[in-house]
Amino acid sequence: MIDPILLLAQWLDDAGGAGSIEAIAMCLATADGRGEPSARIVLLRGLDERGLRFFTSYLSRKGRELAQNPRAAAVLYWPQLHRQARVEGEVAMLGEDESDAYFSSRPRGHRLAAWSSEQSEPLESYAVLEERFAHFDARFEGEEVPRPHSWGGYLLAPSRIEFWQGRPNRMHERMLYTRSGNLWEMTRLQP
């Protein structure tokens, strides 16, 4: 049986790889402490045997929800290949070193935006956001933009991964991998 993480990596490559926004865009669903769900598109910024990595403000709505309820589901959909992958599992913050390394790889403007935006909070006007951006651009002029302590990465450690391959006549192929300790069990599901 193939390791589902390796299969997911292959499907990502088939869809265009890490350099393709269409390949790495995923719908991330979280829920708050009351179980109220929310979903949004984020970018998959890493995949290995530990799981899926994404980055955001810890103070954003998703960050607050993950602090209350550290479980999430993600869906990657590649319509041109008639494929999707669903991932469910526990989420934990990545270490500071890993968050720092990713943050430093981002374009300067993206790093300044992390300082400028209080993600998910109300905004009086777009001009206020532009003023904040200009302020931090001047503040960090001529130097590296450090990672704000309120921004970093998360790891979604899969407990379930389902692969869906579209087939003619809606006879789709579905394979559900469920983790038990360090082992995966695969079950075929009806379309």
Q: Could you give the angle at the alpha carbon of 169 between the alpha carbons of 164 and 171, nearest 5°?
A: 40
Residue 31 included in any domain:
yes
Residue 115 included in any domain:
no
Residue 137 has pLDDT above 80, yes or no: yes
Residue 26 has pLDDT above 90, yes or no: yes
Residue 114 included in any domain:
no
d(CA 12, CA 146): 30
d(CA 85, CA 74): 8
Count of domains forming the chain: 1
State the average pLDDT over residues 2-29. 96
Residue 125 included in any domain:
no
pTM: 0.94
Q: Could you give the angle at the alpha carbon of 121 between the alpha carbons of 117 and 125, nearest 5°?
A: 70
Residue 136 included in any domain:
no
What is the average pLDDT score of the chain? 97
Secondary structure letter of residue 67 according to DSSP = H
State the average pLDDT over residues 86-112. 97
Q: For 158-179, write each residue's pLDDT tens digit.
A: 999 999 999 999 999 999 999 9
Residue 133 included in any domain:
no
Band of residue 21 on the pLDDT scale cut at 50, 70, 90: very high
Band of residue 31 on the pLDDT scale cut at 50, 70, 90: very high
Residue 141 has pLDDT above 90, yes or no: yes
Band of residue 46 on the pLDDT scale cut at 50, 70, 90: very high
Residue 16 has pLDDT above 90, yes or no: yes
Structural domain boundaries enclosing 158:
4-107+148-189
Residue 153 included in any domain:
yes
Supply the residues annotated as catalytic. Answer: 170
CATH of the domain at 44: 2.30.110.10
Say what the pLDDT of residue 1 is. Answer: 76
Residue 155 included in any domain:
yes
The residues, any chain, with a CB within 8 Å of residue 155's CB and separated by 6 or more, are 50, 51, 52, 53, 91, 92, 93, 94
